[in-house]
Amino acid sequence: MSSSARPKPSRKSSGNHRSTLSLTRTEVTIHVYDLLPPGKVATVLWAIGSSLLHTGVVIGDREYAYGGHDRRDLTGVYWTKPGQEPPGGTFKQAILHGFSFRPEEELEAIIQEASHEFQGTSYNLLTKNCNHFTSYLCEKLTGRPAPSYLNRAASIGVALPCVVPREWIAPPDYDTADGELLDEEFEDEGASMLRHDRERERHRTAEEARGWENESYSAGSSRSDQGIARGPIRYEAGNLAPRLVNIAETDSSGRPIPPAERAPLPKNLT
């Protein structure tokens, strides 16, 4: 058959090919962090796939994760810069889980849906932790859940602490990465509650100072002042950022969450 007689591709098939190539392909990557301190135990558990792990889902230049807090009707989903280690965590690996071919608007809608599904007060060490969120979001984006070994510790009944930083308690559309508060003019719940805590703390400190200067400062007024403040911000020594102690101390089942996994202070308070 001569070259002139060969069938030519139809315009329709060429158009479909170009349309396929023009689809947006977004990588969906899982970042894995070991919550055990480096040592022999952590090495052995990692080798057998039974480590205490925290995970986040990287989409573009954001890493989405989930944690617990005590504010009702507020999402527990937050985002950070990819690879930013949680308090006490050590970055272990990045897993290219797959790709999403959805447009950006659909990706945002899926993330918003996940943020409504995973409320901060619903966090549970065994049944609804950061790894459950990772698997949920991965399945929504790629059709496949995250590898089951990531949540093996919780599946065998080991408490796995993952707590949302206090200054990151906000819907994931807003930039609160690097432990920085939202812009002061934006009155979201996360920023305002932290400012109110700071104001109460300053008020409590000022009252105590006046009490030391005034010998007639009574025990009754001291008790009243304690009723105003939820408690002082307590700093703990160590090579990690100082942490707010009085955030969620227990999960939805009342299991205690270790202080090492509570929220780091924002930079302007350290």
* Annotated catalytic residue, options 31, 97, 130, 162: 130
- Tell me the C-alpha to C-alpha distance, in Å, between residue 180 and each of 31, 65, 147, 183, 184: 22, 17, 32, 9, 11
**Do residues 237 and 261 lie in contact, with contact meaning Cβ atoms separated by under 8 Å?**
no
The residue from 31, 54, 69, 97 that is catalytic is 54
Q: Which helix (H) or strand (E) holds 196?
A: helix 189-213
* Both tokens assigned to 174: 């807003």
CB 62 within 8 A of CB 73: no
Mark whether 17 is an active-site residue: no
* Residues shown for the chain: 270
C-alpha span between 213 and 225 (Å, rounded): 16
138 has catalytic annotation: no
Q: In which residue are the tokens 């573009």 written?
A: 60
Q: Which residues are catalytic?
A: 54, 130
